[in-house]
Chain A
């Protein structure tokens, strides 16, 4: 209780303090989130791009979206990789600290939704740690877990493509975290109404 009070005295960046105060009120929207990462290890790997959409009143609001390519000069250099693909992208490009600040401002106190969202959150937390911030406090929903709950299947996981196939959501030719976030958003709308989540 009153956890955030303690936090306020710590020397967090301004945007993080701001973020923490948002949890005084109840969340009024969902944010569907997808990250593209360089690998599966939160300690060693980094986020390459971010995509997010708001879901308000049972609809995906295209305007309230956030997508960016993270410029990971250090990571690429350390691993001897080229950064050409980033230069070619038409998407908005940001250095990691700016991107995270913008994302945190965008999600606010919303309920996060993703596919295997815990991993996305871990990746974000690792990056936030590098900015001297705490861990994300948002509630999170996982569409895979939702699906398994709906169908009462406990012994296996479903990939995003599996789920999209089940619900006949067309695959996209261009793959990006923003595309994924949109598909997760559609899945979420379908699962949400089936599970009767308000």
Chain B
């Protein structure tokens, strides 16, 4: 009988999968636990470390799980109180494939695998939970399937995979065949046949100087151009394209396309002047890609009818939901989602053109608002504008008429796909927002130089735009107008600044959430207006003020601001982080209720989630102060 062990058992039984075990079982497990304290930034294990004999549960604090791809550290998971991680030793025999690092001082329970294993074997709920968690934590689906095929095929595992290729790393052959330049072709071919591989790297002092693949053998030997008694260096392809370890799927694919090769050689420092570590073949890419967003985009391009597009949009929702469940970083998820949204809108414009015939002038279809910022994860309403090039006055009427019809058709297709019409009419099909470049220039000039005069018209969403279809030059022209007008435009920034600050604060004086007091959403928290909009508005204001072009995304805007205005970097970085957290809450809520996720039901939230949400609201105060002092707004507000 051990009182502290009982305490720990009490703690564990609150969390999955421990809730499936009896208290006695949990006490037995708790008795065998080791308690570890990790200081901030302390590393528990890192990539390539040999496996520990335990897996881990966070007792307090936060542990970041990170992986390195394309020489950049990416956080793939954050473990909070009660989360388990480091499950690899349960399922795989090779070393850790990620790094676990304390984001703040944390206390961790180490549960020995040997103690826990019997409970896994006897309890299918526990097993299933661990398998799912492992899928989250490993991402290396292929090797886990291979090394432990039977275990994993027990659950429907492969189907859940819809990985994000940006961060997906690759499994490849890391014990490649190598040989020396002086070896005879026939011997090398025998070696390749015996090892059942289609390639071999030619090395000189362990550095790769060339590669021979089956293609070389068939085109140079089988054709009789070289005898089989020739030395291998005569037929090798050289130089060989080399990459760093931990290359991501996306980069590997780009490199193969760029160099028109089918194999990449992995070396220690990524150059041909270092030791060979592995070989990536085209086949590895195909395996890794079995289900990915690229496939969706291809299908979008082939779609003929709105209902085909609708089906694809529904699949995107599944993809988003899965990705969020699997804790893939929200910034990656929204990148992918907005690419797919973009492809759908583009296809809608194309289908309209196919119906109406070629446009009589050049034009640009811009998404504005959330899609313009690439932040659209849920099915929200459409926001768009249409800009066409200037034409002679006598043709104007006819041209505008064409584009209005084009826009109406497009928005109606999108409505069929599931994007509702904008309730404020901010769409290209509205004759106000479908006009010529010089009219648009006038429009922006008047918005920015005399803000407030026609303030009913000015909506800040017109300052977040992205070209979907048409002439990029038209978008550039508008961007130039905006940035030219922004320079030293105190009036405009005062206006935008006050607009950004006028939102109601999310928390009361006593740090309680301020909830809707009446209306259909009574008792819920308006995460869009009270939490996300202030960050979005703030980022837009600051980025326009800093005269930084081409960054439309709130997260990236804060990241960029942290670089440009380094003395406030901390505020910007915490805002960037907070924005992601809040977007995730909104998306999860939206997916749950199949709506825009604007209103969050706090009563259905767990205590830890509420804490997380509250923490994400903290940086807003700093941002507000920063905006006030930067634009000297106190006298107005």
Residue B256 lies at the interface, judged by CB distance under 8 Å to chain A:
no
* Min CB gap B13→A, angstroms: 16
- Whole-angstrom distance between the alpha carbons of A82 and B37 in the complex? 41
A67 to B32, CA, bound (A): 16
Whether A58 is near chain B, meaning CB under 8 Å from some CB there, is yes
- Contact partner of A62 (CB less than 8 A), chosen from B2, B37, B60, is B2
Decide if B5 touches A58 in the complex (CB within 8 Å): no
A127-152 interface with B by 8 A CB criterion: none
Instruction: Give the residue of B3, B34, B37, B42 whose beta carbon is less than 8 angstroms from that of A179.
Output: B3
The interface on chain A, measured as residues whose beta carbon lies within 8 A of the other chain's beta carbons, has a size of: 28
Q: Do most interface residues of chain B lie in helix, strand or loop, or is the interface mixed?
A: mixed
Instruction: Please state if A194 and B4 are interface contacts (CB–CB under 8 Å).
Output: no
B: interface residue count bin: 20 to 34
Q: Give CA–CA (A91, B2) in the complex, Å.
A: 8
Tell me, rounded to whole Å, the shortest Cβ–Cβ distance linking A85 to chain B.
15
B8 at the A interface (CB under 8 A): yes
A59/B35 contact (C-beta < 8 A), A67-B2, A91-B1, A186-B107 known: yes
Residues of B within 8 A of A90 (CB): 1
B-contact bits for A31-63, CB 8 A (1 contact / 0 none): 000000000000000000001010000111111
A30 to chain B, nearest CB (A): 13
Residues from 131 to 164 in B contacting A, C-beta threshold 8 Å: none
What's the least CB distance linking A169 to chain B, in Å? 8
CB distance A176 to B3 under 8 Å?
A: yes
Is the C-beta of A172 less than 8 angstroms from some C-beta in chain B? Answer: yes
What is the count of residue pairs linking A and B with beta-carbon distances less than 8 angstroms? 63
Q: A62-B8, A193-B39, A194-B39 are in contact. Are A174 and B3 (CB under 8 A)?
A: yes
Q: Determine if B107 and A182 form an interchain contact, defined as CB atoms under 8 angstroms apart.
A: no
**Interface membership of A108, Cβ < 8 A:** no
Residues of B within 8 A of A59 (CB): 34-37, 110
**In the complex, what residues of A have CB within 8 A of residue B60's CB?**
168, 170
Q: Is A114 close to B, CB under 8 A?
A: no
Q: Are the CB atoms of B5 and A193 closer together than 8 Å?
A: no
Question: CB-CB < 8 A to B35: which residues of A?
Answer: 59-60, 62, 185-186, 189
> How far, in Å, is A93 (CB) from chain B's closest CB?
11
Q: Which of A60-97 touch B at CB < 8 Å?
A: 60-63, 65, 67, 90-92
Indicate if B7 sits at the interface (CB-CB under 8 A). Answer: yes
Tell me which residues from 149 to 183 in chain A have a Cβ below 8 Å from any Cβ of chain B: 168, 170, 172, 174, 176, 178-179, 181-182
List A contacts of B3 (CB < 8 A). 51, 67, 91, 174, 176, 178-179
Cα A69 to Cα B600 in complex, Å, equals: 51
CB distance from A168 to the nearest CB of B (A): 8
Query: Which single member of B4, B37, B39, B105 contacts A53 (CB below 8 Å)?
Result: B4
Q: How far is the CB of A4 from chain B (nearest CB, A)?
A: 33
Q: Is the CB of B1 within 8 A of A62?
A: no
Does chain A have a CB within 8 A of B33? yes
Tell me whether chain A's interface is mostly helix, strand or loop, or mixed. mixed
Per the bound structure, the CA–CA distance linking A13 and B3 in Å amounts to 31
Measured CB to CB, the nearest residue on chain B to A56 is: B34
State the CA gap A178–B5 with chains docked (Å): 10
List residues of B (51-75) whose CB comes within 8 Å of A's CBs: 60
Q: Does A190 contact B (CB under 8 A)?
A: yes
User: CB-CB < 8 A to B37: which residues of A?
Assistant: 58-59, 186, 189-190, 193
State the Cβ distance, B588 to closest chain A Cβ, in Å.
28
Within 8 A of A (CB), among B1-29: 1-5, 7-8
In the complex with contacts A59-B34, A186-B107, A178-B39 CB distance below 8 A: no
Q: Which residues of B contact A62 (CB under 8 A)?
A: 2, 4-5, 8, 30-35
Q: Would B105 and A190 count as touching, CB distance under 8 A?
A: yes
Contact with A along B97-109 (1 / 0, CB 8 A): 0000000010100
Beyond A182-B7, A189-B35, 8 extra complex contacts between A and B, CB < 8 Å: A51-B3, A53-B4, A59-B36, A60-B34, A62-B34, A65-B4, A170-B60, A186-B37
Please list the 8 inter-chain residue pairs (A to B) with the smallest Cβ-Cβ separation, ordered nearest first. A189-B37, A60-B35, A59-B34, A182-B4, A59-B36, A178-B3, A62-B33, A193-B39
Q: Can you list 28 residue pairs at the A/B interface with Cβ under 8 Å?
A: A51-B3, A53-B4, A58-B37, A59-B34, A59-B37, A59-B110, A60-B34, A60-B36, A61-B34, A62-B2, A62-B5, A62-B8, A62-B32, A62-B33, A62-B34, A62-B35, A63-B32, A67-B2, A91-B3, A170-B60, A179-B3, A179-B4, A179-B7, A182-B4, A182-B7, A189-B35, A190-B37, A193-B39
Interface residues of chain B, those whose CB is within 8 Å of chain A, are 1-5, 7-8, 30-37, 39, 42, 60, 105, 107, 110
| Interface, chain A (partner B; CB < 8 A) | 51, 53, 58-63, 65, 67, 90-92, 168, 170, 172, 174, 176, 178-179, 181-182, 185-186, 189-190, 193-194
